Amino acid sequence: MLSPKRVLHRKQMKQSSRLYGLESRGTTVAFGDYGLMSLEGHWITNRQIEAARVAMNRRLKRGGRIWIRIFPDKPLTKKPAEVRMGKGKGSPEYWVAEVRAGRIMYEIKGVDEATAKEALELAAAKLPVKTKFVSRSSNTIL
């Protein structure tokens, strides 16, 4: 699973307000020929990122190259089940990536367009956001 090696603060505040609006960086296909763009803001967990990567790799059968353009660097905490209120914040449970609309999450190079579209659709099925297939030639923000 993806997670940072070191962090400055072990626990962060949630601040889900960062998910609204359009992404300003990472909005164009930069490395590959085809990409998967997010159409809405959401937290994407390290497990979801990994599940999408595995789905793409299985479809490509070791052909082509994949880039993951998001990284889960925000810890989310949870308190154990059946614990009374108070007594501080819970321990970090998993890591999420904050993704806003317009962000390119995955890129593929070295395969034809039909195969890339199929692989990215399989990846999109593993993610909790609406997505769009984009190519380098149609590099537009939403």
Output the CA–CA distances (angstroms, integers) from residue 36 to 46, 75, 95, 104, 136, in the order listed: 17, 24, 21, 6, 11
Neighbour order of strands in the sheet with 34-38: 65-68, 104-109, 34-38, 131-135
pLDDT at residue 51, rounded to an integer? 97
- pTM, two decimals, is 0.91
Q: What is the pLDDT of residue 16?
A: 78
* Percentage of residues of the chain with pLDDT beyond 90: 87
Cβ-in-10-Å burial (0-12, 13-18, 19+) of 10 comes to exposed
- From 3.90.1150.10, 3.30.365.10, 2.40.420.20, 3.90.1170.10, which CATH number describes the 30-81+88-132 domain? 3.90.1170.10
CA proximity to 23, closest of 130, 106, 95, 105: 105
